């Protein structure tokens, strides 16, 4: 497995793949495999044959082979948190269990709100197979207060996932600053936690760029279809992040 290292201050860049068919998925992987990025996220919930677990594993293996050393994050995003479909708990667990046991990913994303049972079941399997786990939460309706964000992040920390991810929708510029301030404060309290946060939409774009300043370790950029509102083109993202990193040195 590709052991992703998180000790560099400069945020890593991840490109999502959200195509529906096998051919288009593999075409996009071929397009992005040579780019200067750190991770590829396969949004498996967009795959038209997602209910066929055997086919999902076969496609994941083909993606991993083509990435040739790049990290692969596999995410099954539920409709409630911006994904394509709703899934039963049993299907959700079985899908990720197969992904882990077949060792076709370097990281998986588990939604925090799916509940403690999901983490109790899947974390040990992921660890046994050397797969890192992201505990994630997405709020497409609002940005909570700084206190509420801090409380949510602390609850997510207690899952003992390797990475904590939180994304919120701003209703004002002030909301963007609230999320960024909460991220910075939480990182000061828990410097060893790998934290990923972002404010979504056009208003939230600064949060996707300023990860190094506020303590967010990963940002998502786009090539073609965006997996979330406000993602920035990967070439533009590189210029911005590299420039800010030089300023910090």
Q: What is the pLDDT of residue 205?
A: 93
Percentage of the chain exceeding pLDDT 90: 83
Whether 4 shows a pLDDT value over 90: the answer reads no
CA proximity to 204, closest of 233, 167, 162: 167
- Per the structure, the count of domains in the chain is 1
Q: Please give the structure tokens belonging to residue 174.
A: 């002030």
Q: Residues 144-186: pLDDT tens digits?
A: 999 999 999 999 999 999 999 999 999 999 999 999 999 999 9
| Per-residue confidence band for 229, with pLDDT thresholds at 50, 70 and 90 | low
Residue 145 resides in a domain: yes
Are the C-beta atoms of 98 and 56 separated by less than 8 Å?
yes
Q: Residues 175-227: pLDDT tens digits?
A: 999 999 999 999 999 999 999 999 999 999 999 999 999 999 999 998 865 55
| Per-residue confidence band for 69, with pLDDT thresholds at 50, 70 and 90 | confident
Q: What is the pLDDT of residue 228?
A: 61
Report d(CA 183, CA 232) in Å as an integer: 20
Spot the catalytic one: 93, 137, 152, 165: 165
Spot the catalytic one: 138, 147, 173, 189: 138
157 carries a ligand binding annotation: no
42 carries a ligand binding annotation: yes
Report d(CA 212, CA 207) in Å as an integer: 10
Active site residue 138: yes
Report d(CA 8, CA 190) in Å as an integer: 16
208 carries a ligand binding annotation: yes
pTM score of the predicted model: 0.94
Whether 241 shows a pLDDT value over 90: the answer reads yes
Q: What is the pLDDT of residue 90?
A: 96
132 carries a ligand binding annotation: no
Residue 6 resides in a domain: no
Whether 1 shows a pLDDT value over 60: the answer reads no
Report the first-to-last Cα separation within the chain, whole angstroms: 31
CA proximity to 215, closest of 174, 162, 170, 165: 165
CA proximity to 126, closest of 111, 156, 157, 104: 104
Whether 109 shows a pLDDT value over 80: the answer reads yes
Q: What is the pLDDT of residue 84?
A: 87
- 27-43 mean pLDDT: 94
- 234-248 mean pLDDT: 89
Q: What is the pLDDT of residue 224?
A: 63
Active site residue 165: yes
Report d(CA 94, CA 92) in Å as an integer: 6
231 carries a ligand binding annotation: yes
Whether 249 shows a pLDDT value over 90: the answer reads no
Q: Which domain holds residue 134?
A: 12-248
Q: CA gyration radius for the chain?
A: 17
Residue 7 resides in a domain: no
227 carries a ligand binding annotation: yes
Q: What is the pLDDT of residue 40?
A: 97
> Which CATH number do you get for residue 173?
3.20.20.70
Residue 105 resides in a domain: yes
Report d(CA 144, CA 150) in Å as an integer: 10
């Amino acid at each position: 497995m590709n052991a992703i290292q998180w000790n560099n201050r400069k945020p890593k860049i991840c490109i999502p793949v959200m195509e529906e068919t096998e051919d288009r998925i593999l075409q996009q992987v071929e397009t992005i495999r040579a780019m200067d990025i750190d991770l590829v996220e396969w949004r498996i919930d967009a795959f038209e044959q997602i209910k066929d677990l055997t086919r999902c594993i076969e496609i994941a293996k083909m993606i991993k082979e083509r990435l040739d050393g790049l990290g692969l994050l596999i995410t099954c995003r539920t409709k409630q948190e911006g994904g394509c479909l709703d899934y039963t708990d049993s299907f959700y667990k079985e899908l990720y269990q197969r992904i882990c046991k077949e060792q076709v990913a370097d990281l998986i994303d588990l939604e925090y709100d799916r509940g403690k049972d999901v983490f109790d079941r899947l974390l040990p399997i992921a660890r046994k197979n050397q797969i890192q786990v992201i505990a994630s939460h997405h709020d497409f309706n609002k940005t909570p207060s700084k206190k509420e964000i801090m409380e949510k992040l602390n609850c997510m920390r207690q899952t003992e996932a390797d990475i904590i991810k939180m994304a919120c929708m701003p209703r004002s510029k002030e909301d963007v600053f609230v999320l960024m301030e909460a991220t910075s404060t939480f990182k000061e309290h828990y410097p060893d936690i790998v934290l990923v946060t972002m404010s979504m939409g056009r208003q939230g774009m600064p949060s996707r760029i300023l990860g190094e300043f506020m303590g967010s370790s990963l940002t998502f950029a786009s090539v073609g279809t965006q997996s979330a509102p406000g993602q920035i083109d990967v070439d533009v993202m590189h210029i911005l992040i590299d420039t800010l990193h030089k300023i910090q040195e």
